[in-house]
Structure 1
Amino acid sequence: MVTLSLLSLCLLSLLGVRGEVAPNFDNCEDSFFRNTPVSGLKIALPTPIEPNTQGLVNPAKCLSAYNAASPAYICQRNGNNYYFATLYDHGRRIPLYSAYQMDIEGVPGREGSIVYYEPQLVHPDLPPEQMDKIESSREIGKYNQNNECLERSPQYQRKYKLGWSQALNENFGSYDRGHLNPAGHHKEDASKATMTHTNVAPQDRKMNKGPWNRYETRLKDVLSAGCSKMYVVTGVVPGDTWVDQNKRVNVPSHYWNAYCCTDNNDNPLRSGGALGPNTNLSVVTEYNSVTDLETELRRLLNVDNNFNIFNGC
């Protein structure tokens, strides 16, 4: 087992990071209404601890993110630009929510496909922008070489490290990779940035392509009418089901959405949201205020009154 001193070194290394996986959302706070993230959502499971470190060389450095704090605060970055914020549950390997400003005026469209991963979930010292599997593997390989993390040890192999830190494409079984921040609410590069595995969770296929898709379209085409800005947070309620018996990736019991519509001075005009069970018989319930949605979510998430999605909307 990793000793307490080694764990302390890992945490100190993480706290010194000023990249895109950090202890806060400072680099992407404009994704939230009044620059205020969701509060009171303390439900993330601890980061999985590598059970077998016997005989490993330099595990504190070579497994530096395996004992990082959970949840992870991700400012989703593609290239040199920040596009949205994600609170990522290390223990369940799913996002708890993604927050963004909708592109109200832009032509909606799905750009790219879900290919990206977050290298800094593997090691805080890796590059901050999203990368596909080949690029991620290359960067992990460089890290291994520079830190003498010999890949003859299974725990140091590239795919093992990537899959330990986040869900891989093959970990979703029969479920769809359901977007929290949907590609269709953005255009061009912003749409491409949503195509990361840290922005998707297992979603029932019929729900994803049916009632939830219809609600996302309604949110873009109808509910945003008359808004100068539309702040959106989409999240999940973690469930009791896992994709496989090894409990690597959790299957949410519900998907939820909240929005805050503001005028050209960023003053709130209205709020609302939606909630739907993650099943093939899902019926999406809409709410005319975020307050009503929060009341139901506090019950489902088992959190107290400190849980608030928006600050004053």
Structure 2
Amino acid sequence: MVTLSLLSLCLLSLLGARGEVAPNFNNCKDSFFRNTPVSGLNIALPTPPEPNPEDLKNPEKCLSAYNAASPAYICQRNGNHNYFATLYDRGRRIPLYSAYEMDIKGVPGREGSIVYYEPQLVHPDLPPHQMDKKGSLLEIKKYNQNIGCSERSPQYRQNYKLGWSQALDDNFGSYDRGHLNPAGHHKEDASKATMTHTNVAPQNPKMNKVPWNQYEKKLKDVLSAGCSKMYVVTGVVPSSTWVDQNKRVNVPSHYWNAYCCTDNNDKPLKSGGALGPNTDHNVTEYNSVTVLETELRGLLNVDNNFNIFNGC
């Protein structure tokens, strides 16, 4: 007979491995310098409330993103591997930042196009890896069938649930889907993993294609020179502007980037970053992440607990 203690250990093991949307970044903390996530960025809006849940059958199980905390901590998983970390603002339906280790030596690439979604933003019991829209809808359909969520209720339908939990492809209007973790900083499967809607936010097309694109290339080709490792965090500054009047997807006022360059022993060699308004204006570069943090504290309206890197 299996003992109670052994059964408990098995259960804990299953719980620890279940899912990549979690209360923390424990499953992908190696995306951060010294395994330490950004601190003090407590600016996410609450998860949007579902309208009229009292009229629905079994809403505690059937509603999209039920009982979901905001922000969501996503270990971006494609296949069986976690590639980077994203802090996702459920209320604004945009990522607040994505953190990753740049592939310094690899040939930059752009694998695929932005087609993936995060099923566990819909229901925590769905698969833990990125899926395209067809696959995501199929998983929601199977969940509805297993739990008994009748799609005669509009709020239980597959497209509604997916769109309630995160931004969809057609929610960006005239804006580009601007990468936070750029595909060009990785190769092959890691590049492919960046092609998810939880890693993009509305970005002015002129900014995306010119000044920000130029900075991303400089970060890869120039600023990483002499580094053994390059830890990167790219984020946005939310604003009072939304893509449409329904206030589904927020338009950031600024994009920002921070990097930490280390030697073979993970000792910091240099840090820096960049900040630019989400327009066609130029990007301002910084030779110290400390100076960048000072600028961001005012824009983000956060206090001195805001810290991008631990000791870089």
Interval containing the TM-score (normalised by the shorter chain)? over 0.9
Give runs of aligned pairs for residues 281-292 of structure 1, distance below 5 A: 282-292=281-291
Aligned to 1:294: 293
Give runs of aligned pairs for residues 206-285 of structure 1, distance below 5 A: 206-280=206-280, 282-285=281-284
Give runs of aligned pairs for residues 119-268 of structure 1, distance below 5 A: 119-268=119-268
Residue 63 of structure 1 and its aligned partner are, at CA, apart by: 1.4
8 Å Cα contact 2:233/2:308 also seen in 1: yes
Give runs of aligned pairs for residues 19-58 of structure 1, distance below 5 A: 19-58=19-58
List alignment gaps of at least 5 residues for structure 2.
Answer: 1-14
Residue 53 of structure 1 and its aligned partner are, at CA, apart by: 1.6
Residue 64 of structure 1 and its aligned partner are, at CA, apart by: 5.8
List alignment gaps of at least 5 residues for structure 1.
Answer: 1-14
8 Å Cα contact 1:71/1:89 also seen in 2: yes
Question: Distance between the aligned counterparts of 1:221 and 1:198, measured in 2?
Answer: 26
Question: Distance between the aligned counterparts of 2:204 and 2:238, measured in 1?
Answer: 14
Counterpart AA for 2:307: N
Q: Secondary structure at the match of 1:174?
A: coil
Aligned to 1:96: 96
Aligned to 2:110: 110
Aligned to 1:3: none
Residue 16 of structure 1 and its aligned partner are, at CA, apart by: 8.5
Question: Distance between the aligned counterparts of 2:53 and 2:36, measured in 1?
Answer: 40
Question: Distance between the aligned counterparts of 2:209 and 2:16, measured in 1?
Answer: 42
Aligned to 1:310: 309
Question: Distance between the aligned counterparts of 2:228 and 2:108, measured in 1?
Answer: 17
Q: Secondary structure at the match of 1:38?
A: coil
The one-character-per-residue Cα deviations of 1:262-292 (angstroms, maximum 9, x if unpaired) are 0000000000000000013x21000000000
Kindly report the root-mean-square deviation, in angstroms, between the aligned alpha carbons of the 2 structures: 1.1
Residue 80 of structure 1 and its aligned partner are, at CA, apart by: 0.2
Q: Secondary structure at the match of 2:140?
A: helix
The one-character-per-residue Cα deviations of 1:194-249 (angstroms, maximum 9, x if unpaired) are 00000000000000000000000000000000000000000000011000000000
8 Å Cα contact 1:49/1:67 also seen in 2: no
Aligned to 1:74: 74
Question: Distance between the aligned counterparts of 1:66 and 1:274, measured in 2?
Answer: 37
Question: Distance between the aligned counterparts of 1:100 and 1:251, measured in 2?
Answer: 23
Residue 46 of structure 1 and its aligned partner are, at CA, apart by: 0.1
Question: Distance between the aligned counterparts of 1:211 and 1:195, measured in 2?
Answer: 21
The one-character-per-residue Cα deviations of 1:48-102 (angstroms, maximum 9, x if unpaired) are 0101123311000001623311000000000000100000000000000000000
8 Å Cα contact 1:47/1:66 also seen in 2: no
8 Å Cα contact 2:64/2:156 also seen in 1: no
8 Å Cα contact 1:28/1:85 also seen in 2: yes
8 Å Cα contact 1:175/1:205 also seen in 2: yes
Q: Secondary structure at the match of 2:207?
A: helix
Counterpart AA for 1:301: L
8 Å Cα contact 2:254/2:275 also seen in 1: yes
Distance of aligned partners of 1:272 and 1:199 in 2 relative to their CA distance in 1, 3 Å threshold:
same
**Structure 1 segments of 4 or more deviating over 6 A?**
none
Q: How many residues are paired up?
A: 298
How many percent of aligned residue pairs carry the same amino acid? Answer: 85
Q: Secondary structure at the match of 2:232?
A: strand
Counterpart AA for 2:247: K
Aligned to 1:12: none
Question: Distance between the aligned counterparts of 1:66 and 1:238, measured in 2?
Answer: 24
Residue 17 of structure 1 and its aligned partner are, at CA, apart by: 8.2
Q: Normalization by structure 1: what TM-score?
A: 0.94
8 Å Cα contact 1:155/1:161 also seen in 2: yes
